[in-house]
Structure 1
Amino acid sequence: MRGFLTACAAIACLPGVVHAQGALGANYNEHYEDVDYRDLEKADATWVRIFLTMPQLDRGAAEHGVVRTTLDASGRGCKTILSLKWPFPNRDFPKAGSADMAKELERLDAVLPLVMGKVDILVIGNEPYIESREGDRDLDLNAFYEAMAARVIAYRAKACGEACKTRLYMGALNRLDLKKNMTASTDRWMAYVKATAELDGVDIHPHVNSLEASKPFLDYILPRMRPEQKFLVTEFSIVWWWKQNLEKPIPAAFAEKYGVTRTAQNWQVIKAALEQPFAKPHWDDFLTMSPWFETRKHYLRNQMKMFRDTGRLAVATYGFKQGSSMASNFGPEKTPWLLNSVFAPATVRKNADGSTAPNYAWIDDFKALQKD
């Protein structure tokens, strides 16, 4: 642990903008409770990303687990990314001057003094085009997020000025592999990023079914930014490829080795592992013997190469640990996010010291990518 903290602290002493050059870090989504520095040390990871659901701040900003954990990671020398999430699943975006808008600004004002100048990157938005109703994804969405960004920019200027450690990005665009999601609203989103000098760039979340399907994201955003702007990828995966294979038969060799009926489907093996975690060789055998997984086991390495080859990647963060939301009510319709994770506490038995065992495939490439 001392070596990990020393390495993190050394990086923390240098300007964040210098080290935001093609880095790969750990994404925890909202699961701050899953941050374990032993895992980060094993993976040589020095970047940590978590998102904060803004309505939860009504229970107290300083006491919120996401805020406390992010600041703790920063204090230990990790580089940190905090994404601000505004969910609107059942209503339209607040209008300027309304009581609802005042409430959203109040929440923002509560958290900014706690994190500005302490986190390395603050992302204004999490997944606006998913965390809202389809009919509301119009220019009202843009007006709302532009108001939030203006508030953040003004606060940063007042609190720590041009030398501020915290860099700002707008985030994040989803499913740009589908042309229907390139709209007048996303065009305005990118135009705002380009026109706003205080923004370092944009965040994207390419959850796709193939490596090739992530290319339209880059083709869309890169020409729409200033040459010096960069992009984040705080979430990415080929989860939809995993999903396509859940209801397919398990590998015959696996069925024979472990005495499982050959008519069983892949999702049933995953569910069994969630109900009673497998020994690591057992779980590894399931994935190794599955061509749909084994042929994609270097996805992380290949995807990072595509991002880095642009010369404009700031930081990407990959799903780091199987969270509780991934494991609950697992069935053939469940999105199998847990297959992405670098560490597998839900499907693999813990080590003797209580630490989490790594998932199959990802850990070696994750570590190697830290050295590139």
Structure 2
Amino acid sequence: MRIFLAAAAAMICTSGSALAQGALGANYNEHFEDVDYRDLEKAGTKWVRIFLPMPQLDRGPAAEHGAVKKILEVGERGYQTILTLKYPYNRVPFPKADSAEMERQLARTDAVLPLVMGKVDILMIGNEPFIESRKQDWNPNFNAFYEKLAKRVIAYRAKHCGPNCKTRLYMGAMNQLENPVWRNATTDRWMAFVKETPELDGVTIHPHIRAIEQSKAFVGYILPRMRPEQKFLVTEFSLIWWWKAQMTQPVNPAFADKYQAPRTAQNWQIVKAALEIPFPKEQWDDFLRMSPWFEGRKHYLANQMKIFRDTGRLAVATYGFKQGSSMSAKWGPEKTPWLFNSVFAGATIRKNPDGSAAFNYAWIDDFKRLQKN
């Protein structure tokens, strides 16, 4: 029976968004307010991803939540869409799978499904479950909690959307797989559930790393643990820990001299100045170009996509698209500098005359080229 179901699922996966092979899209995380169709058009992307923090649904009707409204609007405009359902427990004990809190999460999920099923192209169950929980909670109950959520979504799709439903299902993302501690009995069961559940198209990874070579541990772990027809998503990826290691390093003296900055200034202070009064594009571009730690990695996006695509199993990868408000809040030397990843630098570069964001020179050409390859 299991073999029959797996074969049937493989046949179903030949329609709709499941045909996506190696696509590169725009990731906005929770910042649905940053979606600007001018940016999407300039970059040529066809995919957009947003996540929905599920506890926020307690504030009002799911249909009125900005993330839900925006992802549906994006789809209506002809883009292909990924909506991630985020269940955060990183600051509190993880609930039991038979608890009242579990029922609350099921109720929140039930409120969203009628709005998005059959409309979004991909629905992700869980955002970054392992980051969004405490290590002491990585146990069989953790798996049971997410498996129960997945079965709820699968059952709803089967009943209300049918075998040819547009919406494909993926389990949420695996983190830090380059670290052996993050490859354990809980992650093994996570992958086993994906493999044995024919209604799931695959799993997601989030390689936020220091060096591109570390990303190979992610695909090396997940691919042998999935069925051959299953694929993977990459909803976030970056060299964030490399960027962060450079923040307390001194700025390039040539940049300091050109723009009359103190030679004793550290990189994070230059960013702070740009956030307080956005730089002209030439000045921000010079800051990056004249920094060997950045300039030497300006083709990271293309190089990383090659690693993903060479597996033959990538469905869609989405990359940080625009500097969001959370990236610049409380800026300091210890701030995680996500803003270096962004294709569009709306916070550190002055806006264009039409009010749109300027692009980051390092990423835009490769991003556009990757839409065609």
Is this a same-fold pair by TM over 0.5? yes
Provide TM-score, normalisation by structure 2.
0.95
> Does the residue aligned with 2:360 lie in a helix, a strand or coil?
coil
Instruction: Spell out the pairing of 1:258-277 with structure 2 (5 A cutoff).
Output: 258-277=259-278
Q: Is 2:35 aligned against 1:35?
A: yes
Output the CA distance in 1 between the equivalents of 2:247 and 2:359: 22
Could you say which residue in structure 1 is the equivalent of 2:162? 161
Shift of 1:15: 4.4
Match of 1:142 in 2: 143
2:191 touches 2:222 (CA, 8 Å); kept in 1?
yes
Q: Which amino acid aligns with 1:351?
A: N
Matched, 1:82 2:79: no
Q: Which runs of 5+ in 1 are unaligned?
A: 1-13
Does residue 45 of structure 1 match 2:31? no
Runs of 4+ in 1 over 6 A off after TM superposition: none
Q: Give me the whole-angstrom Cα distance separating, in 1, the residues matched to 2:17 and 2:177.
A: 27
For 2:341 and 2:192, how far apart are their aligned partners in 1?
32
- 2:97 and 2:141 in contact (8 A); partners too: no
Q: Check conservation: 1:93, 1:144, Cα contact below 8 A.
A: no
Give, in angstroms, the shift of residue 326 of structure 1: 0.1
TM-score by length of structure 1 reads: 0.95
* Matching residue's letter, 2:332: G
Matching residue of 1:105: 106
Cα deviation code 1:160-218 (max 9, x no counterpart): 11100000000110000111110100000000000000000000000000110101001
Q: CA RMSD in A?
A: 1.0
Deviations 1:242-271 (A, max 9, x none): 011111111111011111111111000001
In structure 1, the partner of 2:200 is 199
Give the number of aligned pairs. 359
Structure-1 residue corresponding to 2:358: 357
In structure 2, runs of 5+ residues without a counterpart are: 1-13
- 2:24–2:319 CA contact under 8 A, matched in 1: yes
Q: Secondary structure at the match of 1:62?
A: helix
Question: Equivalent residue of 2:361, what SS?
Answer: coil
In the TM superposition, residue 116 of structure 1 has moved relative to its aligned partner by 0.2
| Matched AA of 2:124 | V
- Once the two structures are superposed, the pairs formed by residues 205-224 of structure 1 within 5 Å of their partners are 205-224=206-225
Write the mapping of 1:4-83 to structure 2, written as runs, cut at 5 A: 15-17=15-17, 19-59=19-59, 60-83=61-84
Provide the residue aligned with 2:172 in structure 1.
171
How far is 1:92 from its partner?
Answer: 2.9
For residues 339 and 98 of structure 2, the distance between their equivalents in structure 1, rounded to whole angstroms, comes to 42
Give the residue type in structure 2 aligned to 1:214: S
What does 1:243-322 correspond to in 2, within 5 Å? 243-322=244-323
Q: How does 1:332-343 map to 2 (within 5 A)?
A: 332-343=333-344
- Counterpart of 2:128 in structure 1 is 127
For the residue of structure 2 that corresponds to 1:87, the secondary structure is coil
Alpha-carbon distance between aligned partners in 2 of 1:316 and 1:62, rounded to the nearest angstrom: 27
The C-alpha deviation readout for 1:337-363, integer Å capped at 9, x for no partner, is: 000000001000000010110012101
Shift of residue 48, structure 1, vs aligned partner: 0.2
Residue 18 (structure 1) shift: 5.2
SS of match in other structure, 2:312: coil
Q: Find the aligned partners of 2:364 and 2:164 in 1 and give their Cα distance.
A: 36
SS of structure 1 residue aligned to 2:188: helix
Q: What whole-Å deviation, never above 9, does each CA across 1:110-166 have from its counterpart, x for those lacking one?
A: 000000000000000001111111211222111100000000000000011110000
State how far apart, in whole Å, the 1-side matches of 2:324 and 2:99 are: 37
Q: Aligned to 2:58, what secondary structure does the other structure show?
A: helix
**Percent identity of equivalent pairs:** 70
**Which residue identity lines up with residue 362 of structure 1 in the other structure?**
W
More deviation, 287-296/355-364: 355-364
In 2, the alpha carbon distance for the partners of 1:259 and 1:89 equals 43
Which amino acid counterpart does residue 153 of structure 1 have in structure 2? I
Q: Is the 8 A contact 2:26 2:320 kept in 1?
A: yes
Contact 1:52–1:82 (Cα < 8 Å) also in 2:
yes
Cα distance change on mapping 1:135 and 1:364 into 2, 3 Å: same
Q: What is the identity, as a one-letter code, of the residue corresponding to 2:51?
A: F
Distance 1:94 1:162 in 2: 32
> Does the CA contact (< 8 Å) of 2:208 and 2:241 recur in 1?
yes
* Counterpart residue number, 2:371: 370
Distance 2:280 2:252 in 1: 18
In structure 2, C-alpha distance between the alignment counterparts of 1:17 and 1:278, rounded to whole Å? 40
Residues 259-304 of structure 1 deviation map (CA, whole Å, 9 limit, x = unaligned):
1111111000001000000000000000000000000000000000
CA distance in 1, matches of 2:97, 2:84: 23
